[in-house]
Amino acid sequence: MNISTKKKKQLCFLAVLLVAVLFLGGCSLKDMTKADDIIILYTNDVNCAVDGNIGYAGLAAYKHRCEESTPYVTLVDCGDALQGDVMGTVSKGEYPAELMNRAGYDFAILGNHEFEYGMEQLDRLMEISGAQYLGCNIRYAGKDDAAFLSRLLPYKIVSYGSVKVGFIGVSTPESIAKSVPAYFCDENGNYVYDFCGGNGEELYGCVQENVDACLKEGADYVLVLAHLGTDESSSPFTSSELIANTRGIDAVLDAHSQSEIPCDIVKNADGENVLLSSTGTELCNIGSLIITANGNIRTGLIGAYPDKDSEMSDCIEGMEEKFEAELTKNIATSEVALTTVSDSGMRLIRNRETNLGDFCADAYRAVSGADIALVNGGGIRADISAGEITYGDILNVHPYGNSLCVAKATGQEILDALEMASRSCLPSPNDGENAVGENGGFLQVSGLKYSIDTSVESTVETDEQGNFISCGDKRRVKDVMVLGKDGSYTELAPDKVYTVASHNYLIKEGGDGLNMFMDNELTVDEGMLDYEILMTYLTDGLNGTVGDEYALPQERIVIK
């Protein structure tokens, strides 16, 4: 191949056409791909879905088929591959990392969720990875060396015959807020990591420097592997904004927003066309970028592939058996029984403070560092018996896979949330599964204590869908006190701003009608998964033992 960069053409190629030709028309991939063509296969936001949709077995089979057509095949991942399901949690990312090695990834970048196992484990994951991790915009200002950064390259140039392709990695500046902020701080709570996220211009300038470096070293094409996304809320760090403010990039393979983009064309700073593509999530598609022997470049998505690589299938099956066994292993102990129900089987977690509710809320507050934590009782689904605690026990408590969020909220918004959650609370609820007064939105709390006066009839007003509208002057919730850093309580101030930890279901989606935080500023936006929060608090915060402090509810909520 001998292509002049100045004469390159760009075409948009839809996946459905590829699938139709291959499998409906009976044409082989060899008929469509020439020996000198370069094929870049890409994935993003796999989220540990190793056997879902196409799966790694399908990806491996498709990669092998491409290799039959051309020697120039490269497989890349654009982040959020190692977290998102139980397999990743149990192994701290190592099981999916091993499967990625089997699939033969050449390059990968760090999504925001790759950081959620902590920096030490991230270094371990990068060490065992067969892929070279790329990242041009991650910086460190701490005193000690950041081990994982030594394994990271800003870019890499690959020669395919006489053609050189530069690969640049870009991780989202939202990584700090959309992971665990504490992991990016030193022991004094000062941020020592950043992602050129001061503003858009800082990120654009950093990427431009690396594009220029690739071109100076003779790259004929420059491809950016990005974990930026297309969501407006991510502005000014979206992939399209990056393209619009740089020059010299030929294509951006994107992630983060889990968008399904076969091929978009975005104008760069010089008005030239740049291709943008993203595969969606959980291996629902394989991305394919092809640089043809005559200089055309195109992207598309393979939305179905019938073949499975047998060795990869066997490996996945063995890995799944391995992690299923891990679920029964003991990871901690509890000196007390943590419960959701009464002796008669009534779900107290939905109308009373319980010791398990205290434990869960404490976990959210401890892991997030927020002032206050709120956890809906309906999201706490199973008891923890006294004795050994397994991974499976924790997963049963929080089975939904919701993500940690922390919002800035006024004291008045918090008062409204407590009033909404307590509107059906009764002094002595009836026993039984469908007891009057049971409410899945009843809030278990940490960092707060208050009372509920059930002699006051609730004045909460909701819409037809059950969403909070307002509350009258008479309130059931009284004497709301906030726990300070020094361990003392002070009265909640309606006009003061606090940080409130919960999960995306409550904070962002207004679950159980608790919609008062939905438009608030987030300091953590969909970080660690709910069961990972409990595991982290249990193993790191409590050193593996739930002690007598959780023997009984801690009188945070007094019902009169």
pLDDT digits 0-9 by tens, 95-113: 999 999 999 999 999 999 9
Q: Has residue 246 got a pLDDT over 70?
A: yes
> Which of 242-246, 417-421, 424-428, 471-475 has the lowest average pLDDT?
424-428
End residue of a domain, out of 305, 324, 343? 324
Same domain for 476 and 551, yes or no, is yes
Per-residue pLDDT tens over the stretch 74-86 = 999 999 999 988 8
Task: Write down the mean pLDDT value for the chain.
Answer: 90
Residue 47 has what pLDDT?
92
Inside any domain, residue 13:
yes
Residue 228 confidence class, pLDDT cut points 50, 70, 90? very high
Same domain for 169 and 299, yes or no, is yes
Place of tokens 């990875």: 129
Inside any domain, residue 371:
yes
Domain with 533, as residue range(s), is 330-559
Same domain for 381 and 486, yes or no, is yes
Residue 428 has what pLDDT?
66
Same domain for 310 and 343, yes or no, is no
Cα separation values, 185 from 148, 180, 188, 193, 288, Å: 15, 10, 7, 7, 38
Q: Give the CATH number, domain containing residue 390.
A: 3.90.780.10
- HSE at residue 426, side-chain half, CA atoms within 13 A, is 10
Inside any domain, residue 62:
yes
- Beta strands 330-334; 387-390: pairing state: antiparallel
Same domain for 151 and 253, yes or no, is yes
Helix H or strand E segment including 266: strand 260-267
Is the whole model's pTM more than 0.75, yes or no? yes
Residue 429 has what pLDDT?
58
Q: Has residue 145 got a pLDDT over 90?
A: no
Residue 14 has what pLDDT?
41
Question: Is the model more confident about 404 or about 33?
Answer: 404
Same domain for 511 and 382, yes or no, is yes
Same domain for 315 and 358, yes or no, is no
Same domain for 84 and 217, yes or no, is yes
Inside any domain, residue 539:
yes
Residue 49 has what pLDDT?
93
Residue 35 has what pLDDT?
76
Q: Has residue 165 got a pLDDT over 50?
A: yes
Spatial distance between the Cα atoms of 396 and 64, rounded to a whole number of angstroms: 39
Inside any domain, residue 456:
yes
Residue 249 has what pLDDT?
98
Same domain for 337 and 295, yes or no, is no
Per-residue buried b or exposed e for 499-523, using 16+ beta carbons within 10 Å of the residue's own CB: bbbbbbbbbbebbbbbbbbeebebb
Cα separation values, 375 from 34, 236, 380, 450, 535, Å: 57, 32, 8, 15, 16
Residue 432 has what pLDDT?
47
Nearest residue to 106 (alpha-carbon basis) of 37, 38, 161, 173? 38
Per-residue pLDDT tens over the stretch 45-78 = 999 999 989 999 999 999 999 999 999 999 999 9
Residue 33 has what pLDDT?
65
Q: Quick check: helix, strand or coil at residue 554?
A: coil
Q: What is the mean pLDDT of residues 400-422?
A: 95
Helix H or strand E segment including 494: none
Nearest residue to 417 (alpha-carbon basis) of 360, 372, 455? 372
Q: Give the CATH number, domain containing residue 180.
A: 3.60.21.10
Inside any domain, residue 2:
no
Residue 27 has what pLDDT?
41
- Is residue 375 within 8 A of residue 350, CB to CB? The reply is no
Please state whether the peptide bond connecting residue 154 to the residue before it is cis, i.e. omega within 30 degrees of 0. no
End residue of a domain, out of 295, 324, 353? 324
Residue 468: partners with Cβ closer than 8 Å, 6 or more residues away = 416, 420, 460, 461, 462, 513, 514, 515, 516
Inside any domain, residue 121:
yes
Q: What is the mean pLDDT of residues 417-441?
A: 74
φ, ψ at 443 (rounded to 5°): -100, 125
Helix H or strand E segment including 261: strand 260-267
Q: Has residue 435 got a pLDDT over 60?
A: no
- HSE at residue 437, side-chain half, CA atoms within 13 A, is 18
Per-residue buried b or exposed e for 279-308, using 16+ beta carbons within 10 Å of the residue's own CB: bbbbbbbbbbbbbbbebebbbbbbbebeeb
> Which of 37-41, 432-436, 528-532 has the lowest average pLDDT?
432-436
Residue 550 has what pLDDT?
97
Residue 7 has what pLDDT?
37
Residue 25 confidence class, pLDDT cut points 50, 70, 90? very low
Same domain for 245 and 373, yes or no, is no
Residue 430 confidence class, pLDDT cut points 50, 70, 90? low
Same domain for 466 and 517, yes or no, is yes
Per-residue pLDDT tens over the stretch 446-496 = 999 999 999 999 999 998 888 999 999 899 999 999 999 999 999 999 999
DSSP code string of 202-226: HHHHHHHHHHHHHHHTT-SEEEEEE
Nearest residue to 380 (alpha-carbon basis) of 330, 445, 333, 436? 445
> Which of 391-395, 435-439, 467-471, 537-541 has the lowest average pLDDT?
435-439
> Which of 2-6, 33-37, 374-378, 461-465 has the lowest average pLDDT?
2-6
- Beta strands 73-77; 251-253: pairing state: unpaired
Spatial distance between the Cα atoms of 375 and 503, rounded to a whole number of angstroms: 8
**Structural domains in the chain (count):** 2
Same domain for 271 and 391, yes or no, is no
Residue 304 has what pLDDT?
87
Question: Is the model more confident about 373 or about 231?
Answer: 373
Per-residue pLDDT tens over the stretch 180-204 = 888 898 888 888 999 998 889 999 9
Inside any domain, residue 1:
no
Specify which residues 444 forms β-bridges with: 375
Spatial distance between the Cα atoms of 129 and 525, rounded to a whole number of angstroms: 28
End residue of a domain, out of 298, 324, 350? 324
Residue 152 has what pLDDT?
96
Residue 179 has what pLDDT?
85
Q: Has residue 12 got a pLDDT over 50?
A: no
Nearest residue to 184 (alpha-carbon basis) of 212, 215, 146? 146
Six-digit token string for 517: 């935080």
The amino acid occupying position 22 is L
